[in-house]
Amino acid sequence: MIRIIKAAVLLIFILTTYESNAQSYIGVFGGLNSSKLAGDVPSKAKYKGLMGANVGAYVDIKLAKIVWISLQPSYSQEGTKISYTVRGQIDPVDSVRIRMNYFSLPLLVKVSSTNGRFYALGGIETAFMLSNNISSNGISQETDIEISDINIAVHFGAGIRIPIGLPRLFVELRYTQGLIDLTDEPVDKSYIPRVKTVGFKVLAGIEIPLSRNKQ
């Protein structure tokens, strides 16, 4: 994991010192994930969203007039609630929470409007498991299920930039969809069977140009 983080830092350094006419931006961001699992569901149960934090930094490199490539190393808290149907209860009971903490490396393409205020984005994320735990009735412990150390997901979203002088604030909304199963467990033997991650992110941050060139 340390090697992966060092490689990400090195790549950001190379991109930000790349000598070309391309306009580069660096920035930091933070926000919330609303994530859950999707796929096979245990008997008399359903997956529900769980809130978590998402913080990171990024570098944007201009590829064309309105096209940018963005590398965004970040820390992301994901997971799910599991609600079980209980006899005698009208509504399902949230009895289990699963938390998965990742170091993620999204590589995204941003396409801006001609005035640079609005943009759409899409790309792929490779996430590396840092830790995981399961909690029930206020007791938390590491899961005893073999969850994949790597998760691959696609990102789609849109954002708006707000200039405040040289820096720019931004707010964006993303949808994420996992592409690989987190476990190989059969649905009748595990509360995390063959499932993928899915969720939404609401992020805000600030970015500054590495030069005063116009877009």
Q: Give dist(CA 174, CA 123) in Å, integer.
A: 11
pLDDT, position 19: 43
pLDDT, position 21: 47
Q: Give dist(CA 155, CA 174) in Å, integer.
A: 6
Query: Token pair of 74, please?
Result: 């970040």
Which fold does the domain 2-209 belong to in CATH?
A: Porin (2.40.160)
Q: 125: number of CA atoms within 13 Å, CB side?
A: 27
In contact, 199 and 51? CB cutoff 8 Å: no
Q: Give dist(CA 126, CA 14) in Å, integer.
A: 20
Question: What is the arithmetic mean of pLDDT over 107-127?
Answer: 95
Question: What is the arithmetic mean of pLDDT over 117-128?
Answer: 96
Write down the mean pLDDT value for the chain: 84
In contact, 84 and 97? CB cutoff 8 Å: no
Residue 33: closest CA among 201, 198, 173, 153: 201
Predicted model pTM = 0.82
pLDDT, position 127: 96
Residue 174: closest CA among 205, 148, 150, 208: 205
pLDDT, position 189: 67
pLDDT, position 3: 58
Q: Give dist(CA 198, CA 45) in Å, integer.
A: 17
